[in-house]
Structure 1
């Protein structure tokens, strides 16, 4: 068992970025290929969107086991196991001959990605402490946002040159490279006083986290913010390519512009939190998402790409500010249960968002109105933040 350094080096930060990129890579790289996949499997676009929703559900649920495993056995071995699972399932997706086989591969891929994600965030909590971890999570989110900027461009090229399956062979290659780097460079960060007692899936282990209202409130906010992003990435190809007739190159351009804004928002969120405090940042993020929902509703009948994307641009800043403020606050009370707390946060954020979006996609809403619904779901959370309970759960900094 290793004792974490009080001053984490840049190598650790780079490795954590490497680990958190598994999830967005698996979501974003094949987005331009979704219409081709639907045509090859002869299914509706909603069924292809399930390959993202199922991945998200598995990504979140798997963390219920990955978190306690990381607390008991360490971050490094669990991360290595996750990378191996991700690599094998990417290969299975590459050769899948039916949509059912592809969906199964995506479930397994989510299980692998959940291990790398929970170990990365737990290692951040180990190394940076409760208060600074929120800022570092914002930087990790900024790194994550490079993937939506680059992955669709890469995916469009791979699909045009080698077919849509090449996207999954690229994921497998990325996993193999990451495996070598983690095996050679990642030192264990689990603190010596980590609570690893009890059964791995003992309800009491999770109840110790779930009974804390500070955690539940902020985890729900992370889930609702993530559902906006998931609704966007699954709806954008249908709206922009199928609905508005954009080419794959035009789609990736709009998607890339939004990713640049996501990067800017996530990288500047720690500075915004330093200057204004996490409570004001959280408040501004929710206000911005609610406003974006109202704007999307007003522009919903306009048949133009900008009318769909401008509210999304605004929501990118709202998402970054909410996640930066809420994720760190959710993990702050759990120094001795960082793995379990990070796992439950991932469950809320990934599985919760995945299930919510999968259900609302079947409600018959148009793509703009689907986003309106998810953006306006932040309004009750905003009202709660203004209440006396909200002021106790997220106090203003002195």
Structure 2
């Protein structure tokens, strides 16, 4: 479905940068935090398992927030909900800086996630409002690439901030980042959804979820992006302990290993942005899910065959698997949103990204329950996620074929 008067990419560089910054709320809020988990545990006197579960708390809060922000923005408009959400994020981040217990940290992290969710989902809906399908896939890839550049340096920055200024300095940085984003939304970002294109009531907006969930092709796209994302969060939750405890790497070395996988995402999304118009989003999705399944299968096979995967094959396998997540997210969400009119774009983006983070949180929770000293649990969950992502991709092919025959 074509957009009304789609905007050319060449005239939208500043807008794309702002949207990339908004999408970065989630990754930055998680990735900068990872190297500080041990320091937080020691400072607050909390249990290590409880501190690991703050990642899960954040993911579930992020997922819940996006579930509501998407359809609400279809009714009230994009800009006002962005301003409300970022303000909530700022308040919560301020609370985290002064937290003195693990329970307080959990509560503020949950509120922080609920606020930051607005930025992540509404930025994607704005792309659907303003750009045509193939341009949307390209722009989402560009946004993801810019986000990954920030994410690439965030664990490294987080590790050094923790080392020299303590873990609270990470959240001071996030407070400043959110403040800049709020100012950009106030003074630069314009409303992208005109009144005539909005849903007539909140109830109708929320009912859009029923319509979307009945669309097998849309759910196939959402399943593909969500399951690979869930596999990535199994890695995010487990990797600090797998690398630092099992393989004995330092916190600084872990930050660089984490950055290597972000570099993989950047390479793939650059390829996607350059060739998506030629190859097409659907073929990119087939390629991404196939390579993710291949790498996950090989890692589990090597782990079982040798009685434990060695360091280099693990790094290479994760490089391939994590690399696929960015282009799958961009192409799947572009394809899913293209199936629905503008007044349902927020709901489509909300459901897609909500399930993405919700399943990521669920897999993170499962992995966090294991006191692991080996990569076994992480790799098993990554393989399960890859299989389900591949099966979801097959559903999009079946549905697309059926639609073409009708």
* TM-score of the two chains, using structure 1 as the length reference: 0.91
Q: Secondary structure at the match of 2:249?
A: coil
Could you tell me which residue of structure 2 aligns to residue 268 of structure 1? Answer: 271
2:15 to 8, 12, 27: 12
Checking the alignment, whether the CA contact within 8 Å between 1:214 and 1:394 is kept in structure 2 is no
Structure 1 residue 309 corresponds to structure 2 residue 312: no
**2:354 aligns to what?**
347
Quickly say closer, same or farther: Cα 1:395–1:169, change in 2 above 3 A.
farther
Which moves more between the two structures, 100-109 or 33-42? 33-42
- Answer yes or no: is 1:122 the counterpart of 2:130: no
For 2:21 and 2:242, the matched residues in 1 are separated by: 31
Structure 2 residue aligned with 1:327: 333
Deviation digits for residues 197-247 of structure 1, max 9, x if unmatched? 233586523212222222211111111011111111111111111222211
Could you tell me which of 347, 368, 375 is aligned with 1:367? 375
CA distance in 2, matches of 1:248, 1:328: 36
1:96 maps to which of 95, 99, 121: 99
Q: What residue number does 1:172 align with? A: 175
CA-atom RMSD, angstroms?
2.5
Shift of 1:348: 0.9
Aligned to 1:234: 237
1:280 Cα offset (Å): 2.2
Shift of 1:383: 4.5
Among 63, 66, 80, the residue aligned to 1:63:
66
Q: Which residue pairs with 2:216 in the alignment?
A: 213
**Kindly tell me: are residues 316 and 396 of structure 1, through their superposed partners in 2, closer, same or farther at Cα, counting changes over 3 Å?**
farther
1:138 aligns with 2:160: no
- Partner of 2:385 in structure 1? 377
Unaligned runs of 5+ in 2: none
Residue 86 of structure 1 deviates from its aligned partner by 0.9
Contact 2:205 2:344 in 1 (8 A): no
Structure 2 CA distance for partners of 1:266 and 1:202, relative to 1, 3 Å: closer
Q: How far apart are the structure 2 equivalents of 1:162 and 1:51?
A: 21
Checking the alignment, whether the CA contact within 8 Å between 1:29 and 1:167 is kept in structure 2 is: yes
* Conserved? CA contact 2:74–2:345, under 8 Å: yes
Inter-partner Cα distance in structure 2 for 1:117 and 1:361:
25
Tell me, yes or no, if the aligned pair for 1:290 and 1:378 is still in contact at 8 Å: yes
**CA offsets 1:73-123 (integer angstroms, 9 cap, x no match):** 221111111111111111111111111111111111111111111210011
What are the Cα deviations for residues 176-209 of structure 1, in whole angstroms up to 9, with x where unaligned?
1221222111111114442322335865232122
Aligned length: 394
